[in-house]
Amino acid sequence: MICLVLVAVTAIGLVWNQFGMNRHFVLDGNSDVTVRAIDDSSSGGKTISSIHREGSRLVMNCEVRARSAGPYCSLIFEIGRPPHGVDLTGFDKVTVQVNSQGAELDQQVRLFLVNFNSAYSDPAQPSSAKVQELVYEPAAHPRLSAKLSQFTVPSWWSMSHLVDVEHAGTELDNVVAVQVTTGAPVTPGMHVITVDRIEFTGKRVPPATFRLGVISAWLLAAVACIALYAADARKALEASRHAKAALERLNAELHVETDAFKQVVKRDQLTGALNRHGLRDELSKAADRGDVGFFPLAIVLMDIDHFKRINDLHGHVVGDRVIKAISHVISGAIERDDILVRWGGEEFLLVFPGTAPMDALAIAERLRRAVAGHAWSAGLQVTGSFGVSEATVGEDLVDGIKRADEAMYLAKTNGRDRVELIVGGSSYGSLRSSDGEISDFELSDSGSLFDDSH
């Protein structure tokens, strides 16, 4: 699922980077920058230039007189004030909409990007800023789209400004002016240059940088997935180790020697339920399997209420029949993987693998009702007291049995024929209220599961 999300995000990001994430820088008659015109009159020439606006257009009139030696006119957008300019390195393309009319047959214009570098430029000498130009014919390209990499440093500037080799190339990191200038040479007469729009465009995140980020994100995701997988594997291994150790500790607490156990019958002869030796065998098998699913492990201990009175009033034969019938009632109401043990005398131990304490509480209540609702012979009314607890990974299972025993005695103390739960040393009360009704759970009455003929 995570991989699918990453693939989707990557695809969306690449498409967005390709067709979106654009940034724009526009120069026209509406731009909030200073616009002015210059000509050769500042150096003794006779050219006269002027600028006026026509809506969003800028129109420069340039009157070139025959007496001018090197005539030119230039419309200047002052986008910075030396030594501070605008960084255009984040843009990769410029779109120019310029019209030029004049006496030349092939009318040209020159587009200048003027960059200030404090290593060789002087704010008091505007001509010291580096000029980078692009020359073209507006008649052939009414809407020119060019890469900024196509701009070059003109030879006339390089020859008059000797700079270090490291500064010899194009520089666009601190542009202070964008100029639209007449071509060279310029024929005497009236020249009109109209600037509709100059737009610089680029990506907010360059494609190469974006793709590098995508690759880095995938590498980080791969490392994270590997780390999570390794952590899960370590947890599973640790859980398996704790489960096996807990089962082995219980086997030691039962004090059953392996050699002697082989000679002992594993089932109680009266009820057919497992005896303590049989329980030990089942737990040993689970330990050998490394059965992590054995936990959480719910434990229920049940004692027949007033069993001594039954023996005293009706005899031991009837008492044995009661024990046998209860064993059948319980074994018929639990799952095949659950473990029923005759723990001793009138006590039964139930072990529910993979069962939470609250689920075991509901099961015990169902068993209590089944015992109380059984059709007993000889006018008997037999009930049982149930204690519920749990054994968690990392503790001795014997501790869980001790808590179930405490819960069972709590049920007897609180009036018998009830279920009590103790988890972690805290009693959570009985599932059955004092008037005999179910208070916390809605359970269907299973009725009598077995009659005396079983």
Residue 68 has pLDDT above 60, yes or no: yes
Mean pLDDT of 124-141: 94
Query: Residue 56 in contact with residue 196, Cβ under 8 Å?
Result: yes
Angle at 275 between CA 274 and CA 277, to 5 degrees: 110
pLDDT at residue 243 greater than cutoff 60: yes
Please check whether residue 234 lies inside any domain of the structure: no
Amino acid symbol at 192:
V
Look at residue 418 in the predicted model and tell me its pLDDT: 97
| Domain finish residue from 173, 204, 235 | 204
- Cis check: omega of the bond before 71, within 30 degrees of 0: no
| pLDDT bucket at 290, cuts 50 / 70 / 90 | low
Structural domain includes residue 405: yes
What is the mean pLDDT of the segment spanning 48-53? 94
Tell whether 394 and 275 lie within a shared domain: yes
The pLDDT assigned to 112 comes to 97
Task: Output 312-318 pairs: Cβ under 8 A, ≥24 positions apart.
Answer: 314/378, 314/380, 318/378, 318/380
Of 204, 224, 241, the position where a domain reaches its end is 204
411 or 433, higher pLDDT: 411
pLDDT given for residue 185 in this prediction: 81
Question: Looking at 204, 221, 240, which one is the last position of a domain?
Answer: 204
Considering the domain architecture, whether residues 181 and 329 belong to the same structural domain is answered as: no
pLDDT (0 to 100) of residue 248 = 77
Q: What is the mean pLDDT of residues 185-199?
A: 92
- 87 shares its domain with 154: yes
pLDDT, averaged across the chain: 85
The residue ranking higher by pLDDT, 53 or 247, is 53
Same domain, 170 and 296: no
Quote the pLDDT of residue 451.
Answer: 32
269 shares a domain with 193: no
Q: Is residue 272 part of a domain?
A: yes
* pLDDT of 423 above 90: no
Tell me the percentage of the chain whose pLDDT exceeds 70.
86
- Provide, rounded to the nearest whole percent, the portion of the chain with pLDDT above 90: 55
- Do 104 and 189 lie in a common domain? yes
Characterize the bridge pairing of strands 109-115 and 73-78: unpaired
Q: Are residues 91 and 153 in the same domain?
A: yes
In a domain, residue 7? The reply is no
Model pLDDT, residue 432: 47
pLDDT at 198: 97
Residue 179 sits in the same domain as residue 87: yes
Q: What is the CATH number of the domain that holds 363?
A: 3.30.70.270
Q: How confident is the model at residue 105 (pLDDT cuts 50, 70, 90)?
A: confident
Residue 85 domain boundaries: 22-204
Give domain status of residue 214, yes or no.
no
Clarify whether residues 262 and 331 are in a common domain.
yes
Query: Is residue 116 located within the same domain as residue 258?
Result: no
- Quick one: 286 and 353 in the same domain? yes
- Of 154-163, 180-189, 236-245, 269-278, the one with minimum mean pLDDT is 236-245
DSSP state of 128: G
- Considering the domain boundaries, does residue 200 fall inside one? yes
pTM of the complete model beyond 0.75: no
Task: Give a yes or no: residue 178 inside a domain.
Answer: yes
Number of domains comprising the chain: 2
**6-27: average pLDDT:** 74
* Sequence-ordered alpha helix ranges (H) in 103-206: 155-160
- Sign, CA torsion 204/209/215/220: negative
Q: What is the CATH number of the domain that holds 61?
A: 2.60.120.430
Residues 156 and 258 in one domain: no
> Does residue 220 sit within a domain?
no
Say yes or no to pLDDT of 436 above 60.
Answer: no
CB 210 within 8 A of CB 13: yes
- Residue 146's contacts (CB-CB under 8 Å, 6 or more residues apart) are 93, 94, 96, 134, 136
* Measured distance CA(209)–CA(180) in Å, rounded: 33
pLDDT at 238 over 70: yes
Which has the minimum average pLDDT: 55-69, 207-221, 289-303?
207-221
